[in-house]
Amino acid sequence: MSEKKTRAGGYRSKRKRKGVRYKKVGFKLTVGQKKALERYCKTNNLTPIRFMKSLVNNHVARYRDDPPPPSYVTKNQLKLFDKE
């Protein structure tokens, strides 16, 4: 019964979301470190991956690139209120 309208008919098409890129990182733990990690995750109801990602995110947050500030001026903006 309901028909999808084409782009010319007025509906906008949804843009596909850009995927997140992942990089693989590996390291080794001793047996004692692994047991301690498992014990900590079990008591705090976490997975080891979630725990490690939270540690990394907390430490590298200050080194991330700052997003550029938003530009409120457009190319075709009127110059009524400019200081001359």
Q: How many CB atoms lie within 10 A of CB 12?
A: 6
Give per-10-residue mean pLDDT for the chain (84 aa): 55 81 93 96 96 92 82 70 66
pTM for the model: 0.55
Farthest CA pair distance, the chain? 72
Backbone angles phi, psi at 41, to 5 degrees: -65, -35
pLDDT value of position 56:
92
pLDDT tens for 24-44 read: 999 999 999 999 999 999 999
pLDDT value of position 70:
78
Token look-up 């007025």 returns 10
